[in-house]
Amino acid sequence: MKLNNKIALVTGGTSGIGLAAVTLFRREGAKVVAVGTDRERLKQVETQLGEDGLAMAANLRRPAEIDRVIEVVRDRYGRVDVLFANAGLGRAASLEAVTEADLDEQFEVNVKGLFFTVQKAVPLIARGGSIVLTTSFLNTKGTPGLSILSATKAAVRSLARTLGAELAPRGIRINAVSPGPISTPFASKMGLSEQELKAFAEGVEGQVPLQRFGEAAEVARAALFLASDDSSYVTGTEVVVDGGLSQF
Ligand SMILES: NC(=O)c1ccc[n+]([C@@H]2O[C@H](COP(=O)([O-])OP(=O)(O)OC[C@H]3O[C@@H](n4cnc5c(N)ncnc54)[C@H](OP(=O)(O)O)[C@@H]3O)[C@@H](O)[C@H]2O)c1
């Protein structure tokens, strides 16, 4: 087992990629703390995690709620070995249509929430620990209507480098996983009509060299590689899981 007895904190652990990672990390021997906001989904994850895991509600837009998660983890486990800072959301809007609230929400979850999750978890991470951030194929692609989401994901890619450089002397690695279009509820929350969503999905799928959407489990396996000692000499980089979309 690749994460035997490791303590793994997974944000966005209630759905999609994070939920797939929770399942996989647990199968690989980790004690998992899953963070999300949806009470119903948190309850389901809690049942799946059993006695040695934890599902916690926290809105990552509020740093005080991240503090609370870290306090509970410190009291219960005393350390974090793996942090998968994965929670995120996106809103589609053209240049003219983007509102201040759209911009704030995406930066507050995808960048501010992620940054403070890392900052607050690091005191619990010892030498040999691993941090994995979720960025996106959008960090290098220009896609109409996704300016703010893409900018947040470029910021996340940048953080893997800068924070990786800061933490390398302490023996803590930080890498990013960069998903392409993945079959999760993510796109359905972008504020598109059903028709727009269908056109968007078909348009993106048509551009993927492997000619299909990816599965959350395929991203989770890349996150496992970065989380585990299999990647012990890998830091500051990203593993791209996008069917070739951003590469060809
Ligand atoms: N799906 C894709 O095509 C794709 C492509 C590239 C990158 N990504 C990235 O992959 C990551 C996971 O997305 P996904 O596809 O798995 O989407 P998802 O199924 O919608 O999952 C998003 C997760 O983030 C959590 N979350 C959202 N806002 C939060 C907040 N304010 N506080 C705490 N948790 C919050 C959600 O928790 P609740 O539901 O409990 O609120 C949920 O667990 C995101 O960072 C996304 O940008 C996805």
For residue 219, give the ligand 1 atom closest to its CA.
10
The answer to the question of residue 229 being in a domain is yes
CB of 214 within 6 A of ligand 1: the answer is no
Residue 142: pLDDT band by 50, 70, 90 thresholds? very high
Domain count, the chain: 1
CB of 16 within 6 A of ligand 1: the answer is yes
pLDDT at 79: 98
For residue 108, give the ligand 1 atom closest to its CA.
31
Q: In what order do the strands lie in the sheet with 80-85?
A: 54-57, 31-36, 7-11, 80-85, 125-134, 173-179, 238-241
Range of the domain at 75: 7-239
The answer to the question of residue 20 being in a domain is yes
**What would the pLDDT profile of 77-117 be if each residue is shown by its tens digit?**
999 999 999 999 999 999 999 999 999 999 999 999 999 99
Q: Whose CA is nearest to atom 28 of ligand 1?
A: 88
Residue 29: pLDDT band by 50, 70, 90 thresholds? very high
The answer to the question of residue 2 being in a domain is no
Ligand 1 centroid from CA 169, angstroms: 31
Please give the distance of CA 175 from its chain centroid, rounded to a whole number: 11
pLDDT at 144: 95
Residue 68: pLDDT band by 50, 70, 90 thresholds? very high
**What would the pLDDT profile of 158-189 be if each residue is shown by its tens digit?**
999 999 999 999 999 999 999 999 999 999 99
The domain that holds 63 is classified in CATH as 3.40.50.720
Which of 62, 58, 90 minimizes the C-alpha distance to 179?
90
CB of 40 within 6 A of ligand 1: the answer is no
pLDDT at 218: 99
Q: Whose CA is nearest to atom 20 of ligand 1?
A: 186
The answer to the question of residue 248 being in a domain is no
The answer to the question of residue 234 being in a domain is yes
**What would the pLDDT profile of 36-51 be if each residue is shown by its tens digit?**
999 999 999 999 999 9
Average pLDDT, the chain: 98
**What would the pLDDT profile of 206-220 be if each residue is shown by its tens digit?**
999 999 999 999 999
CB of 14 within 6 A of ligand 1: the answer is yes
Could you give the dihedral angle defined by the CA atoms of residues 86, 62, 7 and 38, in that order, rounded to the nearest 10 degrees? -70
Residue 30: pLDDT band by 50, 70, 90 thresholds? very high
The answer to the question of residue 246 being in a domain is no
CB of 222 within 6 A of ligand 1: the answer is no
The answer to the question of residue 130 being in a domain is yes
